[in-house]
Structure 1
Amino acid sequence: MDTREGPVEPADAADATDGLRERKKRQTRAALSRATIALSVERGWDGVRMEDIAAAVNVSERTFRNYFSSRAEAVAATHLDRMLRVARALDERPAGEPLWESIKASVQAEFSPEDSRPADPAAGRRHTAAIWKVLSEPAVQGEVLRADQAAQVVLAESIGARTGSDPRADLYPKLVAASVGAAIGTALGHWLRADPPVPLGPLISDVLGQLTAGLPAPARTGSRPPDLPA
């Protein structure tokens, strides 16, 4: 019998409080990352300070520093979080589903067929050019590379769990994770630099389809036929 006096907080209530706190932290972190990207695209990389980003999210600059050590890390956080969600989605796919079908479904769930560029083509080109300029900053490139490496570790673990392989000892899960990351990066780079603009969703589907098929060589069209043996 419990002889303690006063109300006892149920364990479920404490767990719910902890869960709410963690969810709020994730929401604040995501909001700071999105604000960093949006302000940098709007004003240019050198036109944004940490205090500007914090003000846009209605938090203090100290709060920003609690989450990120730099603006570049904040930019890369959106990419990292998206790739970690891909890994979690892969964990939740049906166990009997073929690996590459699971990967395609998990990735495509994170990339909407609608992109965020303005409908006007000229404005869209300016928008993507501004994003590309931000992503071309050396500090941002370094943080995105770091984020890619961290995401690949987690994705390789999910792939290993589905294939019965060990990412610490086996090459396959690491190779697949790296291939998926490279495919997504290639699609994003093509999307940002395409002129005229193209939607992102179909690009993601295309690169994953080609990867699943083993990257077959495209049919030759309008080019010189290969030399025939003598």
Structure 2
Amino acid sequence: MAADETAPLGLRERKKQETRSALSWATIRLSVERGWDDVTVEDIAAEVNVSVRTFRNYFSSKAEAVVARHVDRMRYVADDLRARPADEPLPEAIRHAVLARFAPEPGADRSPRSREWLDQWVKGIRLMVTEPDVQGEFLKANLIVQKELAEAIAERTGTDVTRDLYPTLVAAATGAAASAAMDHWLRSDDPTVPVDALLNDALDRLWAGLPVP
């Protein structure tokens, strides 16, 4: 389980997180560049300069490594939600928590990048997420992170995930909004549109009750 980013981490734990993240990124990058079937666990381990055994210590498969970034990001959303001011309305608290994890890195260049490079990257991601193994890992991951987000929502609203539908329903809807925004971005003719802008729009529509356009 991912550690709370707000808590101080020891050197060993930071190193483990860095290695896990590096392996996940390497899996995505190599799969986009070479194609899913042309990347092995050995290739990924060599890219990060670790052993295959180290890779296996973190992930059971390439698909799990790909999905790891999504899992961590959504788990941190639950942590961030718990840290929001207690008097903040739930929709705004969730919005801030989600956008904090989907926003670009501080100082990131948000100007249009090389269209050729970005189109190729998006094309590779599109192909990769159609792999049955990756889709299966996403389904499993979404169930895990939905449960954690529902627990955070229950704590904030004074409800109970075992008795009340509300926290699980809100968590599922929030996860669906995030998935829809990512899917829309991948299918968009203009991948330079920021994902966080799409997600913000999705959350706006969700909390407005999904009115007919």
Which deviates further from its counterpart, 30-39 or 115-124? Answer: 115-124
Query: What is the deviation of 1:142?
Result: 0.2
2:204 — aligned with what?
209
2:51 — aligned with what?
60
- 1:181 and 2:175 are equivalent in the alignment: yes
1:166 — aligned with what?
160
1:223 — aligned with what?
none
Gaps of 5+ in 2: 1-7
- Deviation per residue, 1:131-183 (Å, 9 max, x gap): 01111100000001111110001000000000001112211000000001000
- Deviation per residue, 1:53-96 (Å, 9 max, x gap): 11111111100001111000100111000000111100100011
Query: What is the deviation of 1:116?
Result: 8.9
Identity percentage over the alignment? 57
1:224 — aligned with what?
none
- TM-score w.r.t. structure 1 length? 0.83
Query: What is the deviation of 1:187?
Result: 0.3
Query: What is the deviation of 1:118?
Result: 7.4
Query: What is the deviation of 1:111?
Result: 1.3
- 1:123 and 2:113 are equivalent in the alignment: no
Read off the aligned partner of 1:187 and give its amino acid letter: A
The structure number with the bigger radius of gyration is: 1
- RMSD across aligned C-alpha pairs, in angstroms? 1.9
Which deviates further from its counterpart, 116-125 or 172-181? Answer: 116-125
Distance 1:30 1:103, change over 3 A: same
Read off the aligned partner of 1:99 and give its amino acid letter: L
Matches within 5 A, 1:1-80: 19-80=10-71
Read off the aligned partner of 2:208 and give its amino acid letter: A
Please give the alpha-carbon distance, in whole angstroms, between the structure 2 residues aligned to 1:141 and 1:115. Answer: 30
1:199 — aligned with what?
194
Aligned length: 202
Please give the alpha-carbon distance, in whole angstroms, between the structure 1 residues aligned to 2:207 and 2:87. Answer: 17
Please give the alpha-carbon distance, in whole angstroms, between the structure 2 residues aligned to 1:29 and 1:217. Answer: 42
- TM-score w.r.t. structure 2 length? 0.89
Please give the alpha-carbon distance, in whole angstroms, between the structure 2 residues aligned to 1:33 and 1:39. Answer: 10
Residues 156 and 167 of structure 1 are in contact (CA less than 8 Å); yes or no, is this contact kept in structure 2? yes
Please give the alpha-carbon distance, in whole angstroms, between the structure 1 residues aligned to 2:186 and 2:75. Answer: 22
Counterpart of 1:133 (choices 127, 138, 159) is 127
1:156 — aligned with what?
150
Read off the aligned partner of 1:92 and give its amino acid letter: A
1:228 — aligned with what?
none
